[in-house]
Amino acid sequence: MQIPDDLRYSSDHEWARATGDVVRVGITDYAQDALGDVVYVSLPSVGTALEVGAALGEVESTKSVSEIYAPVSGVVSAVNDALSSSPELINTEPYGGGWICEITVSSPETYEALLDADGYRGLTS
């Protein structure tokens, strides 16, 4: 299972990568493996304001449907439209092409409060 050291993680198995005040969000390798083959992704709308822990979309797999939760507070500034036609990117590239959305952070402390890689490893072991 991959847990890149340069990311932050939520206890709900989302990852976050900050570039300035924009945070790219996806689900972890652990989460995609538990879900199985992803067949559909419900993306948030650009402009949607989110608080930490708010549902921002859903991932549907051959096993179940799981909500995706915002790991940071802010406004959705971009979504990964490629997932509409290729939801399997979440399985094949969870930390790359399988990203879900970008959030312009309104409260930087919400990013800092996320788990680092070692903290997340402790959660999943």
Domains of the chain and CATH, by start = 8-124 (2.40.50.100)
Q: 7-58, pLDDT tens digit by residue?
A: 999 999 999 999 999 999 999 999 999 999 999 999 999 999 999 999 999 9
At residue 1, the pLDDT reads 86
d(CA 65, CA 3): 23
- The phi and psi torsions of 14 (rounded to 5 degrees) equal -100, 150
Predicted TM-score (pTM) of the model is: 0.94
Q: 70-98, pLDDT tens digit by residue?
A: 999 999 999 999 999 999 999 999 999 99
pLDDT band at 125 (very low <50, low <70, confident <90, very high): confident
